Structure 1
């Protein structure tokens, strides 16, 4: 028994050591980015890791020197697109998932198979076609076009939500219908409150995608600076002619753009855990 305990302690110690090393490796780039955002020395590269001059000017200039790089405008654009896309995408995913989970119709499996095949192709393969479609209807270089792009194919990501709805007993739906509830009421007032984990997961993924996307916004917006999002806007600071002067401001912008996602995840994580606990108790 003592040998087993000793062996377990050694194993646990080795595990904690490996995890600690991996944690340091994972946190190092984040720490470096934060330090560079406070660096007062100009230029993109330095021979030392820790800045010799610490300053808040990089953050201040993002909001005061907006002639060339209008970071506040880009931040607002990103927030608008991300929030609206998140709402639309979340509703589409949950409705599609619940329909595939509960309803039985002839085209159900063929539709699921088609969506599965289409989902195997990367989204950027269609960006040229999407651009020409948006151009034909006069929606290029607009925030509305970005919302359409990010939320238009959201329903294709129904797999995880459908898998969760499949675990919810059908008896709950049947009991509610017997009590006089409609299918619409069953979904919104009974199933969704029981499905907090998958709802939170859908919200997070639907928000993060437009918040950090670079490819589609670069194709759709072209040279319309005022409608850039932060991903494309900050990238302009890294061009050959700008990187030496604006690299530390780029780092500051990268830190600021990471804060909302971090806070959202921390806030949602609490509901995620409580949703799992509630779901387990009800199950």
Structure 2
């Protein structure tokens, strides 16, 4: 009887924790969706369940009065190039550290580990000056360059751990058959590393879509804004009170993220678990 009561208490505790997590995660999301469907623009007059459902804010975002589509395009450009570039750069760097012995290899890995402890924002002044010197300040290409450079330390460790789980016998067998280094990389390593590369692609696609601080420092022209910076102006400008439009724009940000996640979901779990198994 005591054991049965203990099991019930454990199950009750688990469900209680899940309920709290559900409220913490989904309550703000439900409020955002509800606010985006409210009429008017005030935050305080909005309700989680609108009395009169309205799509006027979504329609306004796609009208000629709004720059929302331009900001969306800019975000997609930055996210797509960052994700693709990260997969290419990270896989090459991780392959070198996983498969080759060279002077400075061990110290290089320690440097990558150390760099993970410092956020990119700590070097923002230096990066700002650097972009200004090379004429890439207030450009999407400059923003992409910073994202690509900042992701290498963490992702290289992640992908290297996955590459280390791939048997070296496969490399040796391919070289016996006459395959070179690049052939081994493209024909053996990359196909087997699809799960971890999917993780890298998803994480690096999401980051520019949600990031506000870095684009707000690098970009100054409204036509170059990404979504986070553009949407912030809905509620930041003097006399601005466009919280419902802000909510509608925020809801639409999730569309490409959800599409990429659904496309890559079969790789994500195995990629995350295997990538951290060896270092």
TM-score, normalization: structure 1?
0.88
Equivalent residue in structure 1 for 2:253, among 233, 247, 257 = 257
Question: 5 Å matches for 1:174-253?
Answer: 174-222=172-220, 224-239=221-236, 241-244=238-241, 246-253=242-249
Q: Is the 1:81–1:147 Cα contact (8 Å) retained in structure 2?
A: yes
Segment drifting more, 16-25 vs 70-79 = 16-25
Tell me, yes or no, if structure 1 residue 39 matches structure 2 residue 35: no
Q: Is the 2:162–2:196 Cα contact (8 Å) retained in structure 1?
A: yes
SS at match of 2:205: helix
SS at match of 1:267: helix
Q: CA RMSD in A?
A: 2.4
SS at match of 1:153: helix
SS at match of 1:43: coil
String of CA shifts for 1:213-270, please: whole Å, max 9, x gaps: 2112111112x110111110000011153542x1101100000011111221122112
Segment drifting more, 48-57 vs 103-112 = 48-57
String of CA shifts for 1:101-121, please: whole Å, max 9, x gaps: 111112101212222222321
Q: Is the 1:218–1:232 Cα contact (8 Å) retained in structure 2?
A: yes
Deviation at 1:5, TM superposition (A): 6.5
> In 2, Cα distance between the equivalents of 1:4 and 1:179?
62
Q: Is the 1:85–1:147 Cα contact (8 Å) retained in structure 2?
A: yes
Deviation at 1:210, TM superposition (A): 1.5
Deviation at 1:275, TM superposition (A): 7.0
Q: Is the 1:44–1:243 Cα contact (8 Å) retained in structure 2?
A: no
Q: Could you say if the C-alpha distance between residues 18 and 216 of structure 1 is closer, same or farther in structure 2, counting changes exceeding 3 Å?
A: closer
* Matching residue of 2:149: 152
Segment drifting more, 89-98 vs 152-161 = 152-161
* Matching residue of 1:270: 266
Q: Is the 1:43–1:243 Cα contact (8 Å) retained in structure 2?
A: no
Kindly tell me the number of residue pairs found equivalent between the two proteins. Answer: 274
Q: Is the 2:39–2:52 Cα contact (8 Å) retained in structure 1?
A: yes
> In 2, Cα distance between the equivalents of 1:89 and 1:211?
15
* Matching residue of 1:97: 94
TM-score, normalization: structure 2?
0.89
* Matching residue of 2:71: 74
Q: Is the 2:58–2:248 Cα contact (8 Å) retained in structure 1?
A: yes
Q: Is the 2:95–2:163 Cα contact (8 Å) retained in structure 1?
A: yes
